[in-house]
Structure 1
């Protein structure tokens, strides 16, 4: 399995013949010219995870790719004339590799802010992308896309999340709001379980497992 990061929460997962792009959003760049995609997955409708017009262009460039999203994103895309298949927690998708769907709801930002749908994707039984949630699936997670910082998050929650999952590798994502992300990376590296290797993947770089 090869993971390539395209800033913030956008990750390309290559597993066998499958090429799966997750969360092509407004803070991410470099994914626009990708070809040969088998699937595009969106965890939720927030603009930093879903850039509607760039998704449209991406699908035109990859006509064989299937588009799966949460129910909220599917409705947003439909308003722009883009058809997406809603992914429901408990489903297993076949996109050239398996994708198990977990979660259901975005983490709480504030009690006054409505909670929107958010699904997490476990790709190839190995890499979990939780979107904006602290989803804990009922399976072992080998590689975690670890949300680093967000309006809905605090450092202690991230540490507890990583400890609860105890993945072999944690790759920080969702850091575009930070001016100095290394401060957070260092904290999580110190506090992560001994079994977890925190692996920094800079935008455009690839991690192989």
Structure 2
């Protein structure tokens, strides 16, 4: 599996059979020129996860790509064809199996801000993009090979992110959702120092494809 991080929550996942782009938002760059995508998947409606203006051009360059979103995001779209999905669904995309996971809610930012919908996406039982929530795996599942780990957000405390990392015990943790931080390296160091035994924290070079290898 190859991963390419385009900044913040935007990650291209190439499973070998499917090219899946997650969360092309306003804080991410470089994804605009991608072609050959099989699907664009959006975890939730916030602008840092979906830039509607650039999405139109992206889909035009990828006419066969499926746009897969939560129902809250669907209400924000005007023009592109899309599919809605929610936790409990299982999708097949170009040979990849994608489970929609979580309780369906974005993490609480503040009690006075309404909670919106959020989908976590589990790809081939190997990689989890949780969106903006500490999404657990379905009960009884083995740890994932790769966790895309939220690093900084209005809803996130670094210590809670460490606890989530420890609870998930992935083989590799890839920090994402870092654009709101002035110095994300401080959080990367915290994850590295406090990660559970057997977990490697791997910070991806921006816009560079990196191979992550499954457990053997």
Tell me the TM-score range normalised by the shorter chain: over 0.9
Aligned to 1:191: 194
Name 1:175's counterpart in structure 2.
Answer: 178
1:154 partnered with 2:157:
yes
Deviation at 1:84, TM superposition (A): 1.5
Does the aligned pair in 2 maintain the 1:7–1:202 contact within 8 Å?
no
- Other-structure match for 1:58: 58
Deviation at 1:192, TM superposition (A): 0.9
Q: Which runs of 5+ in 1 are unaligned?
A: none
Give the structure with the higher percent strand: 1
Q: Hey, what's the Cα distance between the residues in 1 that align with 2:194 and 2:13? A: 27
**Structure 2 stretches lacking a partner, 5+ long:** none
- Report the Cα distance in structure 2 between the residues aligned to 1:113 and 1:7, rounded to whole angstroms: 26
Of residues 139-148 and 168-177 in structure 1, the stretch that sits farther from structure 2 once superposed is: 139-148
Question: SS of the residue aligned with 1:37?
Answer: coil
The two structures, once aligned, show a CA RMSD in angstroms of 0.9
- CA shift, 1:205, in A, is 2.0
Name the counterpart of 1:100: 99
User: How many residues are matched?
Assistant: 207
- What displacement does 1:124 show? 2.1
Q: TM-score, normalised by structure 1?
A: 0.97
**Aligned equivalents of 1:202, 1:107: Cα separation in 2:** 27
Deviation of 1:71 after TM superposition, in Å, equals: 0.8
Deviations 1:148-198 (A, max 9, x none): 010000011101100111000000000001111111100111111011100
Q: Distance in 1 between matches of 2:124 and 2:75?
A: 27
Q: Which residue matches 1:86? A: 84
**d(CA) in 2 for partners of 1:173 and 1:100?**
20
Is the 8 Å Cα contact of residues 136 and 165 (structure 1) preserved in structure 2? yes
Offset, 1:206: 2.2
- Structure 1 residue 44 displacement after superposition: 0.3
Q: Distance in 1 between matches of 2:209 and 2:37?
A: 17
SS in structure 2 opposite 1:76? coil
Task: State how far apart, in whole Å, the 1-side matches of 2:125 and 2:12 are.
Answer: 15
Equivalent residue number for residue 136 of structure 1: 136
1:108-136 CA-partner distances (Å, limit 9, x unpaired): 00000000000000112211000100010
Instruction: Tell me the TM-score normalized by structure 2.
Output: 0.94
Q: Structure 2: how far apart are the matches of 1:203 and 1:46?
A: 22
